[in-house]
Amino acid sequence: MNLNMEFVLETLKDLMSIDSPSGYTSAVMELVEKIADDLGYGFEMTHKGNGIITLPGLDPEYVVGFCAHVDTLGLMVRSITDQGSLRFTKIGGPVLATYDSELVRVHTRDGRVYDGTVYCTKPAKHVFKESEDKRSEENLEVRLDEDVSSKQDVLDLGIQVGDYICLDPKLVITPSGFIKSRFLDDKLSVAILLGVLEYFSTNRLIPSHTVKILISTYEEVGHGMGWIPADIQELIAVDMGCIGDDLTCTEKMVSICAKDSSGPYDYDITSRLAELAKENNLNYCIDIYPYYSSDVSAALRGGQDIQGGLLGPGVFASHAYERSSIEAVENTMKLLIAYIQD
């Protein structure tokens, strides 16, 4: 199996270069549409902004869906202080302790973009005893890199309540093969699915069943795949594999999830994924995710009549500054391709 890792890593860089917290994904979806187009596959968009890419199969009657989410965690302006800094509300569930000192971009509704930094409200070690306090929405704020000292100064920049504040993902691919970035959950999986699409396109392969790749835009807030096309019988979420206490997964593996907080995944799909991983000598594990639910959970809660599975590359330090590896990407892609060709 000849995987085009250069394509996957370039796609990951392109996805990371566009800010896309849940609810602010139209720019990144334009990129996804262009990639699908360039590879020769049809792209449709749902009313809410999710993408559907179709690979026609030999048997068009049986449709398998694979979903990954391009939306990320982020922040939104909650209020502007009299001193001209921004208080914020969270989009999704970030580990706020890791947000201190991160670089951000504020996007105004008329298209202007301003740089800033997340700081603790009492940040200087030489001045404040509180500089070591636990971080929360109450003691973090955004300071803009603009000459502002009042609320009016900020309003004059065109910044208002409800504007998105986006963190710099800080993508680094090390010579040793590690991939470090925020939002590997789940842009790494989007790059993986587009890499699988590239594999089928370049090698002129037709899947045995029709495959629909679904790109979700509201996963981090819980309802990404609440609706899916009615012809999908199986839905497999490609989302980050958990690493930590009690878990087998490493940053090199593809993780197959048997159960998460939303309950067990489909028995047959999970078993078939594990068999295929074994047959193909992949570095894999089956794990239970303690605090997790996926877009398959959202689809099932939305009332979809599907069998659901979950797999993904092992990602360390999720919802903080995350790390995975090229090896995990390869293991995940190989498992997906084997499943599609099975």
Residues forming contacts to Zn ion in the complex (CB under 5 A) are 185-186, 239
Q: Using an 8 Å Cβ cutoff, are 248 and 285 in contact?
A: yes
Shortest spacing between CB 69 and Zn ion, in angstroms = 6
Q: Which is nearer to Zn ion, 186 or 322 (CB)?
A: 186
Shortest spacing between CB 17 and Zn ion, in angstroms = 19
d(CA 49, CA 218): 9
d(CA 41, CA 29): 15
Q: Which is nearer to Zn ion, 77 or 273 (CB)?
A: 273
String of DSSP letters for 3-68: --HHHHHHHHHHHHTS--BTT--HHHHHHHHHHHHHTT-EEEE-TTS-EEEEE--SEEEEEEEEEE
Cα–Cα nearest to 313, from 4, 7, 64, 12: 12
Q: Collapsing DSSP states into helix, strand and coil, what is residue 199?
A: helix
String of DSSP letters for 98-156: GGTT-EEEEEPTTS-EEEEEEEESS--TTT-GGGGSPP-TTTEEEEESSS--SHHHHHH
Q: Which is nearer to Zn ion, 198 or 239 (CB)?
A: 239
Evaluate the CA torsion angle 81, 84, 87, 91 in order and state its sign: positive
Q: Which residues contact 44 (CB under 8 A, 6 or more apart)?
A: 51, 52, 54
Shortest spacing between CB 234 and Zn ion, in angstroms = 19
Catalytic residues: 219
Q: Which is nearer to Zn ion, 186 or 198 (CB)?
A: 186
Q: Which is nearer to Zn ion, 186 or 266 (CB)?
A: 186
Shortest spacing between CB 187 and Zn ion, in angstroms = 9
Cα–Cα nearest to 93, from 77, 110, 73, 107: 73
Q: Which is nearer to Zn ion, 239 or 327 (CB)?
A: 239
String of DSSP letters for 213-259: EEEESSGGGT-TTSS--TTEEEEEEE-PBP-STT----TTSEEEEEE
Shortest spacing between CB 241 and Zn ion, in angstroms = 10
d(CA 113, CA 218): 23
Shortest spacing between CB 140 and Zn ion, in angstroms = 23
